[in-house]
Structure 1
């Protein structure tokens, strides 16, 4: 039986050789484990939190028990910040057995490559801590699920505010690549409108299976998709959803994030999966772009030239938001992100998904909105946008001009931006900087 620990744990060096007794009871295993914990952690109360009296020792972190006798058969703690090896001469005994410590280069290398938290300077957290923070990844703490992971709300002692723990579905194809891509993309970039990684964990769970998770800031207002679509239809007066001003500001926030990713980094980042479920909102309804599991790095400015596109072995994105050229070329670009962003804007204004049953070969969300921008905008938009929620906003606007005309003009301008972003050909799409300029103009008109 092997356990990976640190060559820095000096108390182990003083342990004496003790006799091995194979007939000991399972209770002696528990006593021995607790004694081992004290030796390894110098009685640190925060270390190995699952090793406590409330759980059966077979459920403790790193412990594997035989099914027949419920005795310890394996002890794996390689996810801890340790780097050496403990070798047990036999089964675990009530008094800690003779232990020898030696470094194993292969295992040390594995620890170095999987410890992404240390690589990017994050606070290191273990599987046990995340298990405890989310109440055992309880369904009551479930806040969302996606293609590659499930997200839980949790409380970690390392952070003052609640966190979101994204547990990767490692049985899903490319989930591990998604984990690495997300850590790499967000490991060294910071922006007000990007969902920040707080830390990450690459470890094993209590069953000895691989476990990977990313810890983010928790966003109290959830995703844009939830706010757009999970509303009660027959109670609009009491559940108005997002106002036009809020939607314009959210669109601006996402545009700021894309401008930063595409134009302000030495290696531009192409997100590849812009959609409402990947836009989350904090307690002040500020939007943050998240889920970089499909992101690609592009050398230099992320233009549409062949030298600045990133190759992809599979179509990247979500059906309905994937730009047409991705299916033909397999190359991703900033212009591809702009197409997806344009579809997002059109969904924000209409509350219709691009995969809605009304859309097919002859009609798309893009065509639907394009046809309505001249004189039919009020017929296609979310009806709640035609009624101002803020009475002060109503007073300000009516002092300038007719309220309905102002709202209609802003809706048309917003829809035209979405249509311009989602043109079929990449070189026909509006740039993110022009988008920001036009959204600012709408914002100013609504604020007057």
Structure 2
């Protein structure tokens, strides 16, 4: 650590008792003298970070006394001798990184059984890595940035030879040509492993779930490979992880909620994959994050406030190029240390939150290609450190804020909005290459290079006259409008009296604007569900007279337009008490000039069946009993669904197959009557008999959602409660309402409907009959018990009431 220059004198080779030589971090050059090969007692030799060149003297590889041999950070060439592990039997630290070594790693290296540190990174080594099974004392293995591996399936087989290395703490093989699958044996590495670098290779397939065994792992990087499948849930077990980078792979599926357990994380990068679903709320627990990347995936849903405010220390938040919707939560203002925010190329809407002005350290703000509207808030004036501001391709309007000309901007992109008025002329606005204003037709002025029309100014007198005229016109228009509305109301009232009350089935006249208003700008607070092809919002139309559910199609999703057409075609041909009723549709364009399609349904106040079967914890769970369904309610719902399917299959002009029947597509009204909805994948079966008798597993191919819904364990708890009541009442068990027997009967029907071949399955009209019989048997038993039991409590009466109101007329 001085400024020594020149070369090392060969005179050192004459010092026969010489044991150690260290000249690190200087400017020494030339070759290492050959005379050093004569120092038979030399145990420590380190000349790292100098300017040495040439090759290592051949005799130095024969110094069996060497324990530390470090020449990293030079320009030394050559290859490692094939017998190096034999000629240096006592070597402990071997650091040859950052040089120009070529050739392969000798097989004999495994004979150096005392080796603790082996670093050969940043060289030009090639070939396969040999077995290292005898290196049981190895703690550091670094081979990064070489040409090792050949992209073949067995490139990583050497990793399994490290499972006996009980002290391994760092394993770095990034930046090579390793291919094939990551072997399962990595789960058998020493639990002392804290850093594992696999990035920039050609590793394919999935990460083994056994990685969850590496409980002391702090740094895991696999970016820029060909890894696929789901991100293992088991990564969430690695509680000490601080750095997790799985970006630039082919991971699919949802982000595991278990990642929220990684509360020590400072870097989380899952960008550039094929991840789907919503951003887990559990990530809000990662309060130490500094950099968070989810960019370039297929994520959908909204950005929850718990996620956007996940860490006050956050420096970078990158969510661009997904399919996120909803508004940007106001909690973004809590990110006081944020320097980069990118939410571009999503489907977000609403206004830019004024709280964004609290992020005073912002340097990069990109919100392009969304549906944001309104003005640029004046609160953003405090963001004086911004270098890049891109809000292009939105619905923003109003004047360009004057404060932008006082910012030290390098790029300002306001293109493809609805800004109007005069363009400022100072600051970034003096640079046409740095300021982009394209497709804002109402802008004027600015420097001549923008080629905008001159602004037209009115003198004071003309402005007053113009303002007066506008007031007169507005007042007259308002009076005329009020008169017209009163007249229409009078005519409507008269018509209603003449014809009786209007039908609830009459279509509502809706537009994009009316739906925007009905949902508070498609606010996230109005969002009640997200499906495959769009989002569903609760809305209020016609001054509060109609509460509706509005399904807004995500037309960027492949198949969404086709789904819209299919659903419209199906819904206009069907009508049944157990089908969701569509009130109207809206097909037009939004304020961005893009296609807009939505369906407006009747609003059913008890949500969907999935929410009842699998309730999620609520904020007020401590004071509110979780919702659950009784066995009888479940049976009633099953009958409702079966009745709807019977109608679709047998009582329509052309039979209809739903193709995506699942709990989330079954909605419940205020009286818990079930309604089947979402006909986006439904099909007309124009020849109802063409496939019914064939010996095949499906007539139209696999469609909709694939999965398994297990019985809910509450069913057995209800049975236990019933048995407890029976014991209390001393009733005859044979005459009691036996949930288990009824449940078996229902499940037998389910199994009969699920056999492999369609011709062997129970017909839906038979299903309806059988389910009604089960319910009638329950009713008979329960009414009998209610009338004969000496117990006069509310339970028996309530049981009878619950059954009787749902009986068919």
**TM-score, normalised relative to structure 2:** 0.33
Q: Distance in 2 between matches of 1:168 and 1:286?
A: 26
Q: Is the 8 A contact 1:142 1:151 kept in 2?
A: yes
Aligned-pair CA distance for 1:316 = 1.5
Change (3 A) 1:235 1:135: closer
- Counterpart of 2:540 (choices 137, 155, 163) is 155
Aligned-pair CA distance for 1:73 = 3.0
Q: Distance in 1 between matches of 2:629 and 2:456?
A: 60
| Mapping of residues 16-415 of structure 1, within 5 Å | 58=397, 65-66=418-419, 73=441, 122-157=507-542, 160-231=545-616, 238-239=625-626, 241-299=628-686, 301=688, 304-305=691-692, 315-320=702-707, 347=710, 350-351=711-712, 382-387=715-720, 401-403=734-736, 406-415=738-747
Q: Distance in 2 between matches of 1:131 and 1:396?
A: 58
Change (3 A) 1:399 1:211: farther
Q: Distance in 2 between matches of 1:176 and 1:193?
A: 26
Q: Is the 8 A contact 2:580 2:677 kept in 1?
A: yes
1:377-433 CA-to-partner distances (Å, cap 9, x unmatched) read xxx7743432568x99999995884536x2111011011111111111111111111
Q: Distance in 1 between matches of 2:756 and 2:627?
A: 34
Aligned-pair CA distance for 1:238 = 3.9
More strand by share: 2
Aligned-pair CA distance for 1:213 = 0.6
Q: Distance in 2 between matches of 1:270 and 1:179?
A: 16
Q: Distance in 1 between matches of 2:752 and 2:726?
A: 28
Q: Distance in 2 between matches of 1:396 and 1:445?
A: 21
1:193-250 CA-to-partner distances (Å, cap 9, x unmatched) read 0001111111111222211110001111101001000155999994360011100010
Q: Distance in 2 between matches of 1:274 and 1:92?
A: 61
C-alpha RMSD of matched pairs (Å): 4.2
Q: Which residue of 1 aligns with 2:768?
A: 436
Q: Distance in 2 between matches of 1:384 and 1:154?
A: 38
1:418 maps onto 2:750 in alignment:
yes
What SS class does the counterpart of residue 294 from structure 1 fall into? coil
Change (3 A) 1:172 1:57: closer
Change (3 A) 1:399 1:282: farther
Q: Distance in 2 between matches of 1:411 and 1:252?
A: 14
Q: Is the 8 A contact 1:64 1:206 kept in 2?
A: no
Aligned-pair CA distance for 1:161 = 3.5
Aligned-pair CA distance for 1:72 = 6.7
Greater RCO between the two (CA within 8 Å, min separation 6)?
Answer: 1
What SS class does the counterpart of residue 191 from structure 1 fall into? coil
Q: Is the 8 A contact 2:612 2:627 kept in 1?
A: no
Q: Which residue of 2 aligns with 1:338?
A: none
What SS class does the counterpart of residue 672 from structure 2 fall into? coil
Q: Distance in 2 between matches of 1:175 and 1:397?
A: 59
Q: Distance in 1 between matches of 2:573 and 2:617?
A: 40
What SS class does the counterpart of residue 591 from structure 2 fall into? coil
How many pairs are equivalent? 295
Aligned-pair CA distance for 1:183 = 0.6
Q: Is the 8 A contact 2:608 2:666 kept in 1?
A: yes
Aligned-pair CA distance for 1:265 = 1.1
Q: Distance in 2 between matches of 1:146 and 1:92?
A: 49
Q: Distance in 1 between matches of 2:656 and 2:604?
A: 23
What SS class does the counterpart of residue 541 from structure 2 fall into? coil
Q: Is the 8 A contact 2:693 2:759 kept in 1?
A: no
Q: Distance in 2 between matches of 1:435 and 1:276?
A: 18
Q: Is the 8 A contact 1:255 1:435 kept in 2?
A: yes
Aligned-pair CA distance for 1:306 = 8.0
**TM-score, normalised relative to structure 1:** 0.57
What SS class does the counterpart of residue 162 from structure 1 fall into? strand
Change (3 A) 1:206 1:286: same
Change (3 A) 1:145 1:243: same
Q: Distance in 1 between matches of 2:655 and 2:728?
A: 44
What SS class does the counterpart of residue 685 from structure 2 fall into? strand
Aligned-pair CA distance for 1:58 = 3.8
Aligned-pair CA distance for 1:447 = 1.5
What SS class does the counterpart of residue 640 from structure 2 fall into? helix
